[in-house]
Amino acid sequence: MYQQQSQMNRQQSVLQDQDVANIVLSECKRIAREYATAALEANHPAIRQTFQTLLQKTLQDQAQIYTIISQMNAYGDVKEASWQEIQQEIQKQMQKVGQLQTLVQQSLQWGLQPQAAAYQQPMNQPNNQPAYAGNQSYSYNQAQGSTFASGAAVGKSAQDYSMSTAKSSDYSSQSGSYSFGSSSSASEQGSGKSGMSYASGSANSSKYV
Amino acid sequence: MLTQQQSNKGISSKELAYITDSLKNEELLVKLCAQGAADCQNPQLKQTLSQLAQERLNNCDQLLRVLQQQSYTH
């Protein structure tokens, strides 16, 4: 250490180039994490947008400084995964995804019938569910309204979605994959992407309320 | 694209805390980059750090601006 320093012939700073670069890199990583958390927990659309933009910038800066560090060979070894490891993982994951596909197919076929029946039920008793569903889509619009232009359409499909899932509780307990089955059955109904993004929206909005 | 209600909505204390923390982070990074740009020997690193210092300073401005905009609605 001491030898290295005297060789450098630069005594004004203990930190060398690569140290400084690595500190900046760590700071960028830490700041990116904080921006991600801040964006996830933001309430106001404009503020969420700001955090999102700054997160993007921070990621770019981090990549830039990392490129320089790796060019300086100052980051240390980045160990590559072995061919065998990759092949093993591919086998394992392909099997899992296959099973998941079968499960989803089964849930969809299974879930469509009870859901059709459940869809009738709220029509007969409109007094308990619509208030809840309306509330949900309201907070959803607050959280995500600025990013989705089709707010009204999304709100409507979200209503359908929350009604059907709320009523088909027997279906969800039996299938064992509640979230998966319900969100893909929402897409089956034609609400498609909006049903899925509603699911993420409601997860966020539960923090705001 | 904001509805009337959304644009009138004020800033939460949590958001204020995040903005304050972010400003602190950005300031620290600006100083770090500026110091690094002055001290470093590697010309490429020097240039990148001075560029980063400037960019991060802009980020501080952006955070301040968003805070000012929100204060008008109060």
Residues 62 through 101 of chain A touching chain B, CB cutoff 8 Å: 64-65, 68, 71-72
Does the complex come out with an ipTM higher than 0.90? no
Convert the pLDDT of each residue in A182-204 to its tens digit.
444 444 444 444 434 444 444 44
Q: What is the DSSP string of A29-71?
A: HHHHHHHHHHHHH--SHHHHHHHHHHHHHHHHHHHHHHHHHHH
- Mean pLDDT, residues A101-119 taken together: 77
Span B17-28, average pLDDT: 96
pLDDT confidence bin for A115, thresholds 50/70/90: low
B27 reaches A (C-beta below 8 A): no
- Say yes or no to pLDDT of B4 above 50: no
Q: Quick one: pLDDT band at residue A151, thresholds 50, 70, 90?
A: very low
Residue of A nearest to B46 (CA): A17
Domain chopping of chain B, boundaries: 31-74
Domain residue spans in chain A? 10-71, 84-208
pTM over 0.80: no
> Which residues does chain A have within 8 Å of residue B12's beta carbon, measured at their own beta carbons?
43-44
Instruction: Count CB pairs under 8 A between chains A and B.
Output: 111
Does residue A142 surpass a pLDDT of 90? no
Q: Which two tokens stand for residue A65?
A: 């400084």
Across the interface, whether the CB atoms of A57 and B55 are under 8 A apart is answered: yes
Higher pLDDT, A42 or A206: A42
